[in-house]
Structure 1
Amino acid sequence: MTAGKIQFAENEGTYVLKFVGDVRLTLCSTLDTFLDKMFAQPDFKSVIVDLTETEGIDSTSLGLLAKLSIQAKKKLGLVPTVVSTNEDITRILLSMGFDQVFILVREQAQPSQSLQEVPVEECSEESAKKKVLDAHKVLMSLNEKNRQAFKDLVKSLECDG
């Protein structure tokens, strides 16, 4: 698998986030910081998450995406869009209940001509542990199946803290 990276483009308050390769815990700080900056923009209107070139995605990254959806709904009343043409990725999204918090599109999006790479941000072990814990708590809040799937991990992380 290709090492993961996150790219973005912005046009008139609409953001496109593109996940490329294997998106894992190592990018959690990068993604979290970018989302905070995006939501802080006064002209922010909407966001599309493009997973068409995503080869793999871990539960921490999924938890951050769920957090993105919850924040977008709370702050702007909008439901973000996720584009996934990879059946394996789409299956993961559906199994986590993302069809309840995102508009899922299974067709190729228009390619964004001006994608820039989000600079990778280093993350301390303590910060990473907190982000993993927070991301999994968000996933657990989506539905009972997720709550059961991640309760032991969350309990373990809380005990380590």
Structure 2
Amino acid sequence: MTVGKIQFAESEGTYILKFVGDVRLTLCSTLDTFLDKMFAQPDFRSVIVDLTETEGIDSTSLGLLAKLSIQAKRRFGLIPTIVSTNEDINRVLLSMGFDQVFILVRDQLQESQQMSELPCQECSEQVAKEKVLDAHKVLMNMNEKNRNTFKDLVKSLECDS
């Protein structure tokens, strides 16, 4: 698998986040910081997450995507869009209830924007643990199936903190 990276583009307040390769915990600080900055922009209108080149995505990254959706709904009254043409990724998204918090599109995006890569941010082990815990709590609160799936992991992470 290709090492993961996150690219972005913005036009008239619409942000596109493109996950490429194997997107893992190592990108959680990068993504979390970008989301905070994106939502703080006065011209923010919408966000599209492009997973068409995503080979793999871990639960921490999925938790951050769930957090993105929750914040977009709470702060702006909008439901973000995820674009994914990968049936394996689509299965994961559906099994975790992402169709309840995102508009899921299975068609390829027409890329007209020049994408820039988000620089990978390093974080301490403690900060990483906190982000993993937070992301999994968000996933747990999405539905009962996720609660059952992640309750032991969350309990273990809380004991380690």
TM-score range, shorter chain: over 0.9
CA separation in 2, counterparts of 1:124 and 1:93? 29
Matches within 5 A, 1:8-157: 8-157=8-157
The two structures, once aligned, show a CA RMSD in angstroms of: 0.5
How does the TM-score come out when normalised to structure 2? 0.99
Q: In the TM superposition, what is the alpha-carbon distance from 1:113 to its structure 2 partner?
A: 3.0
Q: Which whole-Å deviations, capped at 9, do the CAs of 1:87-143 have from their partners, x for residues lacking one?
A: 000000001100000000000011143100011100110000000000000000100
TM-score (structure 1 length as normaliser): 0.99
Equivalent AA in structure 1 for residue 105 of structure 2: V
Q: Deviations over 1:29-58 (max 9, x none)?
A: 000000000001010010000000000000
Q: Secondary structure at the match of 2:64?
A: helix
Amino acid in the other structure paired with 2:47: V
Q: Which runs of 5+ in 1 are unaligned?
A: none
Aligned residues: 161
Unaligned 5+ runs, structure 2:
none
Question: Take 1:102 and 1:6, find their aligned partners in 2: how far apart are those partners?
Answer: 19
Question: Secondary structure, in 3 states, of the residue corresponding to 1:50?
Answer: strand
Structure 2 SS opposite 1:55: strand
Could you tell which deviates more after superposition, 109-118 or 84-93? 109-118
SS in 2 for 1:142: coil
Contact 1:28 / 1:131 at 8 angstroms: preserved in 2? yes
> What amino acid is the match of 1:158?
E
Residue identity matched to 2:150: F
Q: Distance in 2 between matches of 1:87 and 1:157?
A: 31
Q: Distance in 2 between matches of 1:61 and 1:50?
A: 13
Q: Partners of 2:51 and 2:84 in 1: how far apart?
A: 5
In the alignment, residue 15 of structure 2 is paired with which amino acid? Y
Structure 1 stretches (4+) deviating beyond 2 angstroms? none
